[in-house]
């Protein structure tokens, strides 16, 4: 059963793309943030990770290896997981390292404390 987001089955998509690939993407985002590197580095790393996820779909579930549509779909999901891992880690870094000047502004961001100057 082929859908707009998956080509072989929804369970295969969930297991390979969201669980395995998403977990790897989340950890990649965390690693990039821990190295104090920019978010673009994590996004660039999603290109080969998406190729690996597409290969798993091809090798295990007889999916299409070179399908631009499903490559882009997987890339979007993996990039979202990487950004999530990056932002959570970077927020934690900012709160621990600069707690005297920063305060939490939601689960993914921070801001200067009131009374602080940029």
pTM score over 0.85: yes
CB 95 within 8 A of CB 87: no
Per-residue pLDDT of 88-114, as tens digits, reads: 999 999 889 888 888 888 888 888 887
CB 22 within 8 A of CB 77: yes
- The yes-or-no verdict on residue 1 having pLDDT over 80 is no
| Among candidate residues 75, 86, 76, 81, the one with its CA nearest the CA of residue 31 | 86
Q: From CA 83, how far away is CA 29, in angstroms rounded?
A: 6
Half-sphere exposure for 81 (CA within 13 Å, toward CB): 21
Structure confidence at residue 50 as a pLDDT band (50, 70, 90): very high
DSSP 66: T
Per-residue pLDDT of 10-43, as tens digits, reads: 888 899 999 999 999 999 999 999 999 999 999 9
Name, of 57-61, 64-68, 106-110, the range with top average pLDDT.
57-61
Give me the residues paired with residue 112 across strands.
Answer: 102
């Amino acid at each position: 059963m082929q859908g707009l987001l998956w080509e072989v089955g929804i369970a295969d998509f969930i297991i390979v793309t969201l669980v395995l690939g998403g977990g790897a993407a989340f950890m990649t985002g965390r690693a990039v943030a821990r190295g104090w590197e920019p978010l673009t580095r994590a996004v660039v790393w999603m290109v080969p990770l998406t190729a690996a996820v597409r290969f798993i779909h091809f090798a295990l579930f007889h999916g299409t290896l070179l399908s631009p549509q499903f490559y882009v779909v997987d890339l979007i999901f993996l990039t979202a997981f990487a950004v999530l891992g990056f932002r959570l880690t970077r927020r934690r870094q900012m709160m621990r390292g600069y707690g005297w000047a920063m305060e939490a502004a939601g689960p993914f961001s921070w801001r200067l404390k009131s009374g602080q100057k940029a």
